[in-house]
Amino acid sequence: MNPPATGYDLAIVGSGGAAFAAAIAARAKGASVVMIESGMVGGTCVNTGCVPSKALLAAAEARHRAREGRRFPGIRTEADPVDFTSLIDGKTALVEDMRADKYVDLASEYDWEILAGTARFTSGPALEVARDGGGTATVEAAHYLIATGSTPWAPPIDGLAQAGTEVPSGRQAGYLTSATAMELDRLPESMIVVGGNYIGLEQGQLFAHLGTRVTVIEALDRLAPHEEPEVSAVIEDVFRDEGIGVRTGTTVTAVRRDASGYTVAVARGGQVSELRAEQLLVATGRRPATDGLGLEQVGVETGERGEIVVDEHLRTGNERIWAAGDVTGHPQFVYVAAAHGTLAADNALDGARRTLDYHHLPRVTFTTPAIAAAGLTEAQADAQGHTCDCRVLPLEYVPRALVNRDTRGLIKLVAEAGTGRLLGAHIIAEGAGDVIATAVYALTNEMTVRQMADLWCPYLTMAEGLKLAAQTYTRDVAKLSCCAS
């Protein structure tokens, strides 16, 4: 057994966005830090989440645009078949470079140690670390931060193996997750995607744009079920126009695997049918990664989904143990995890008692067109007792969309009747993720739609659509000249 590692101000379990933000903040205070990681340094975002998925989405979109070819008069393009091995190799190289530059090298620069191994709490509290390569170490610190993130979750479906793809044919069927789908060694001819929220939408369209025949199954009555109904209708039309199968209000009841692929039994409105595909991707959400941490030994409670129960300051039931990021069950975005990490370091080491406000938290689904939102939906505003005044502006009234020759999409504003105060903004459009940042500032500053309508906005940008949508409250934008204020 290795000798105990003691005397740290902060010991962090995990090495993703929350962990690194906390470590950087702690080192800026002069605190000593140790980090324990059982897998790949960098966590989900850089290794199996944001970075690789968006890199592949960009590549798939480039191919799709080339195959589309006739969007602009006089322009003809075409696309060769996908060299899938090279595509995946390129993604892997990008991930490795970013992991080194933004994580491993940063730890060296800020001078904290990363222990490779599996950590488990013991009474004290302390951490017992089973080191990769053998041996154990005991880590003791003034404060501990749990930042172990989340892992893909699958519902209990008959025949669906809770494992990877390398499963013998028979009753149980292996399946792909959003992570393992990006490690395939060849492009599948067909794929069934279970789940029509942001992960399923992104991955489904990604493979469809690469040439795979895709069907998306969603148990609720529409794709993007947590977005505004108008947004859901647009993305469903887009998917169907692109040849992507859409099965909403449909549940998967059983899965079988044989040598040629998967048979998926589905039920809708009492009718049962079967679908066939070479690959099956389950994109039904993620669960906090808390198994094996020994939380019961140190008085740290977990909730129904395995999330660590924390107070508004991210402190657990043990006054020396904190948690940050996906493992808390809070919104699963890397920018939330990063904010959590800094906040936890401030609160643990300085007693800052800081909190976070999620009211105007933006979200983006990187489909084509992209989906973005911040603030309240119309239904949420109604439920909170607001009298709403909503406007929907189709992209055919946005000059940027017209010159792009792509008017698929809309902008919806949710405002409070009477005052005109903006309560929520919802966009499906090219560049929606960039546009929503403007709405966040408007929401944070409690602007009215009249104030938004009067602000400066550069012409021929998609952000101008927000101004135009705000103008619909007082005028008919169809009767404005192109750049009328």
Q: What is the mean pLDDT of residues 108-114?
A: 96
Question: What is the token pair recorded at 383?
Answer: 């439920």
Q: Is the pLDDT of residue 390 over 70?
A: yes
% of the chain with per-residue pLDDT over 90? 89
pTM, two decimal places: 0.94
Question: Which pLDDT belongs to residue 328?
Answer: 98
Question: Which pLDDT belongs to residue 39?
Answer: 94
Question: Which pLDDT belongs to residue 485?
Answer: 64
Question: Which pLDDT belongs to residue 2?
Answer: 43
CATH value of 363-475 in 3.40.50.720, 3.30.710.10, 3.40.50.2000, 3.30.390.30: 3.30.390.30
Give the domain 180-284 fold: FAD/NAD(P)-binding domain (3.50.50)
- Model confidence pLDDT, tens digit, residues 231-243: 999 999 999 999 9
Q: Point out which residues pair with 412 in neighbouring strands.
A: 392, 426
Q: Is the pLDDT of residue 173 over 80?
A: no
Q: What is the mean pLDDT of the chain?
A: 94
Confidence class for position 69, pLDDT limits 50, 70, 90? confident
Question: Which pLDDT belongs to residue 67?
Answer: 87
Are 425 and 360 in contact, with CB atoms under 8 Å apart? no
Question: Which pLDDT belongs to residue 174?
Answer: 77
Q: What is the mean pLDDT of residues 388-409?
A: 97
Cα separation, 270 vs 411, whole angstroms: 36
Q: Is the pLDDT of residue 171 over 70?
A: no
Q: What is the mean pLDDT of residues 123-147?
A: 96
Q: Is the pLDDT of residue 408 over 90?
A: yes
Q: Is the pLDDT of residue 254 over 90?
A: yes
Q: What is the mean pLDDT of residues 185-209?
A: 98
> Are both 5-151+287-350 and 180-284 of the same fold?
yes
- Model confidence pLDDT, tens digit, residues 301-323: 999 999 999 999 999 999 999 99
Question: Which pLDDT belongs to residue 70?
Answer: 74
Give the domain 5-151+287-350 fold: FAD/NAD(P)-binding domain (3.50.50)
- Model confidence pLDDT, tens digit, residues 429-479: 999 999 999 999 999 999 999 999 999 999 999 999 999 999 999 998 887
Confidence class for position 71, pLDDT limits 50, 70, 90? confident
Q: What is the mean pLDDT of residues 126-149?
A: 96
Residue ranges covered by each domain of the chain: 5-151+287-350, 180-284, 363-475
pLDDT, greater one: 404 or 2: 404
- Model confidence pLDDT, tens digit, residues 80-109: 999 999 999 999 999 999 999 999 999 999
Nearest alpha-carbon partner for 411 in 422, 421, 419: 422
